[in-house]
C-alpha cells in the first residue's frame, strides 16, 4: 500500500465499476431534485441508469453553455443546490463560469494525484496557482492539507519574492504550471539563489511536453502532471509509470465523438465527458471541450482504473466558411443520415482566394446522396472525397480548418 494512496486504486476493474454503478442512480436522483438538471435530463428513472450504456443515453450538457445559462439564472443556473450553507467558497473562471466549493476535505480530489507524484504528510509545498477568484489555488491547497502537508499560498508571479520564500521556508515540493516552475529555476540560476530544496512537483494548467519534463528532472525536480477542471477538480493524474494519466476514483469519464454524446472506441480521440459521483454536487455528462483518448490497458504502476493519454487539444472546432458557421453537431448529423459512413471529416482550405469545404468520408463504397445532405444541413456546396475505412487521421477532429492565418 506504500506505493498507493488507498486500496481503491488497486481494486479490480469489476469491483470499481460495480461501486460506481451502484452510486450512479443516487447521483441522478440528486440531480433531478434541481430544476435545471430536471429540465435537461427529462423524464428519466434514476434506477434505470445502472450501466454505462444507460448513462450514454442521457443528453450531454456542454460546458460552453454554462455562461449563458448562469447569466439567465444566477448564480448557478439551477444546476446546484441553492443553500449557501452547503458551500465554503464561490469562484469565477473564464467564461465567466461561477463555481461553488462544497465543505469538506479534499473536495477537489487532488490528494490522490499528489500522492502519486511523491507528496507525503509533512511536506512543505510551494503552491503557485492563483488564489484570486479562480479555484486553482484552492484545488491544490485542499489536496496538500488533506495529505497532511503544509501549503505556502504563494500564487503566481513575483519571482524574486518566491525565491526569498523558498530559501527561508525550504519547501520540498511545488504545485503550479510547468512554465512557472522553469521560470523560478531559471531566475534562481541567474541570481545564484538556492532552490535545491524543491525535489518534486505536481503541474497542471499548461502543456507539459516530455522535453520540459526531462529538463526539470535534469535540474533535480521530478514533476508529474494532473488534468484538472474548475467544474470538478482533478480528473486524471500522472503516476511514476509515466504512461498516460490515471482517472480519478470519484468520476466516470467517457470519451465521445465530437459533436455527439456517443462514446468512441478505446484509442480513438474524442471529447471528454465527465459524470461526478458526488450527490451533493451532481454533474451529469458534462462535455468539457477537451480532447483525449482512452488507453485500454492497466497502468504498470499497479493502479487499475481507466487511463487516458492526457490533454490532446480542444474539441470546439466550429468554422466560419463563406460566411456560414459549420459546427461539429452538423457533421454528426451528416454522418447520422448515412449509416454506412464510418467517419466523416470536414476540411476547410483556401483555393484561388476563396473558402473551399472538402467533406472526407470513410466508407466501403461511395454514396452519391452525401453531397445533397451536406448542402441541406450546411447550406454550402462541398467537394466530396471517399476514403477507405480507417484511413482518416485519428486526432479527434471532425472539422479541420487548414486555411492560412494572416
The answer to whether position 369 is within a domain reads: yes
Residue 263 lies in a domain: no
What digits encode the pLDDT tens for the residues 215-242? 999 999 999 999 999 999 999 999 999 9
Same-domain check for residues 236 and 335:
no
Instruction: For residue range 288-316, list pLDDT tens digits in order.
Output: 988 999 999 889 999 999 999 998 877 77
| 359 within a domain of the structure (yes/no) | yes
Residue 256 lies in a domain: no
Q: Do 302 and 335 share a structural domain?
A: no
The x, y and z cell numbers of residue 124, run together, are 512543505
Contact 234, 227 (CB under 8 A): yes
Q: What is the CATH number of the domain that holds 230?
A: 3.40.50.12780
pLDDT of 64 = 86
> CA 133, CA 137: separation in Å to the nearest integer?
9
363 and 300 assigned to the same domain: no
Residue 214 exposed, middle or buried by CB count within 10 Å (0-12, 13-18, 19+) = exposed
Mean predicted confidence (pLDDT) in 384-403: 92
In a shared domain, residues 235 and 357:
no
The string of pLDDT tens digits covering residues 256-270 is: 998 889 999 999 999
- How confident is the model at residue 306, as a pLDDT? 97
Share of the chain above pLDDT 90, in %: 79
My answer on whether 298 and 388 are in the same domain is: no
> Would you place residue 405 in the very low, low, confident or very high pLDDT band (cuts 50, 70, 90)?
low
Does residue 351 carry a pLDDT above 90?
no
pLDDT digits (tens, 9 = 90+) for 190-222: 999 999 999 999 999 888 889 999 999 999 999
pLDDT value at 337 more than 70: yes
Note whether 152 and 12 are same-domain residues.
yes
Whether residue 330 is contained in a domain is answered as yes
**The last residue of a domain, from among 280, 308, 336:** 308
List own/partner pairs for 202-205 with CB under 8 A and 24 or more apart.
Answer: 202/113, 202/114, 202/117, 202/119, 202/140, 202/173, 202/174, 202/175, 202/226, 202/237, 203/174, 203/175, 203/176, 203/177, 203/178, 204/129, 204/175, 204/177, 204/228, 204/234, 205/129, 205/136, 205/176, 205/177
Retrieve residue 235's grid coordinates.
480528473
Residues 303 and 329 in one domain: no
> Do both 212 and 334 map to the same domain?
no
- At residue 54 the predicted structure's pLDDT band, cuts being 50, 70 and 90, is very high
What does the mean pLDDT of the chain come to? 93
pTM of the predicted model, to two decimals? 0.83
What gap in Å lies between CA 306 and CA 390, rounded to an integer? 24
What are the tens digits of pLDDT across the range 92-143?
987 788 999 989 899 999 999 999 999 999 999 999 999 999 999 999 999 9
Do 78 and 187 lie in one domain? The reply is: yes
Same domain? For 35 and 117 the reply is yes
Calculate mean pLDDT across residues 344-358. Answer: 86
pLDDT at residue 85 greater than cutoff 90: no
**pLDDT exceeds 70 at position 26:** yes
Is the same domain home to 304 and 368? no
The band of 1, judged by pLDDT with boundaries at 50, 70 and 90, is very low
What value does the mean pLDDT take over residues 149-167? 97
Buried residues in 51-63 as b, exposed as e (16+ CB within 10 A): eeebbbebebbbb
With 90 as the cut, is the pLDDT of residue 27 above it? Answer: yes
Domain assignment of residue 257, yes or no: no
- Top pLDDT among 359 and 281 is at 359
% pLDDT > 70, the chain: 99
Task: Please tell me the predicted confidence (pLDDT) of residue 353.
Answer: 64
Within this chain, do residues 41 and 173 fall inside the same structural domain, yes or no?
yes
The pLDDT value recorded for residue 285 is: 98
List the domain range (segments joined by +) for residue 389: 319-401
Q: How many domains in the chain?
A: 2
Amino acid at each position: 500500500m506504500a506505493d498507493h494512496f488507498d486500496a481503491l486504486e488497486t481494486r479490480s476493474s469489476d469491483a470499481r465499476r460495480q461501486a460506481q454503478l451502484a452510486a450512479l442512480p443516487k447521483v441522478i436522483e440528486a440531480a433531478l431534485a434541481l430544476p435545471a438538471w430536471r429540465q435537461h435530463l427529462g423524464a428519466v428513472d434514476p434506477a434505470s441508469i445502472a450501466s454505462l450504456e444507460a448513462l450514454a443515453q442521457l443528453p450531454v450538457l456542454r460546458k460552453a453553455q454554462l455562461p449563458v445559462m448562469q447569466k439567465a439564472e444566477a448564480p448557478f443556473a439551477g444546476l446546484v443546490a441553492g443553500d449557501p450553507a452547503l458551500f465554503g467558497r464561490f469562484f469565477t473562471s473564464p467564461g465567466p463560469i461561477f463555481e461553488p466549493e462544497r465543505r469538506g476535505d479534499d473536495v477537489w480530489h487532488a490528494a490522490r494525484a499528489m500522492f502519486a507524484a511523491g507528496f507525503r504528510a509533512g511536506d512543505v509545498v510551494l503552491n503557485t496557482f492563483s488564489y484570486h477568484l479562480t479555484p486553482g489555488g484552492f484545488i491544490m491547497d485542499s489536496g496538500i492539507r488533506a495529505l497532511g502537508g503544509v501549503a505556502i499560498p504563494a500564487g503566481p508571479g513575483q519571482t524574486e519574492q518566491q525565491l526569498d520564500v523558498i530559501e527561508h521556508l525550504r519547501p520540498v515540493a511545488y504545485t503550479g504550471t510547468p512554465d512557472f516552475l522553469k521560470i523560478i529555476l531559471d531566475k534562481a540560476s541567474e541570481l545564484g539563489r538556492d532552490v535545491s530544496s524543491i525535489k518534486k512537483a505536481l503541474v497542471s494548467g499548461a502543456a507539459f511536453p516530455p522535453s520540459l519534463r526531462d529538463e526539470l528532472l535534469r535540474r533535480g525536480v521530478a514533476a508529474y502532471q494532473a488534468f484538472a477542471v474548475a467544474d470538478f477538480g482533478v480528473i486524471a493524474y500522472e503516476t511514476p509509470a509515466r504512461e498516460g494519466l490515471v482517472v480519478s476514483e470519484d468520476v466516470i469519464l467517457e470519451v465521445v465523438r465530437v459533436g455527439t454524446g456517443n462514446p468512441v472506441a478505446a484509442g480513438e480521440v474524442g471529447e471528454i465527458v465527465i459524470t461526478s459521483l458526488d450527490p451533493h454536487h451532481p454533474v451529469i455528462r458534462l462535455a468539457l471541450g477537451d480532447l483525449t483518448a482512452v488507453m485500454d490497458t492497466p497502468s504498470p504502476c499497479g493502479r487499475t482504473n481507466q487511463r487516458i493519454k492526457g490533454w490532446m487539444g480542444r474539441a470546439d472546432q466550429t468554422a466560419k466558411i463563406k460566411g456560414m458557421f459549420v459546427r461539429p453537431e452538423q457533421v454528426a448529423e451528416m454522418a447520422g443520415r448515412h449509416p454506412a459512413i464510418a467517419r466523416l471529416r470536414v476540411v476547410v482550405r483556401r483555393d484561388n482566394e476563396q473558402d473551399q469545404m472538402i467533406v472526407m468520408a470513410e466508407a466501403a463504397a461511395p454514396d452519391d446522396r452525401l453531397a445533397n445532405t451536406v448542402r441541406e444541413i450546411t447550406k454550402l456546396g462541398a467537394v466530396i472525397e471517399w476514403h477507405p475505412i480507417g484511413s482518416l487521421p485519428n486526432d479527434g477532429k471532425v472539422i479541420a480548418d487548414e486555411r492560412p492565418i494572416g
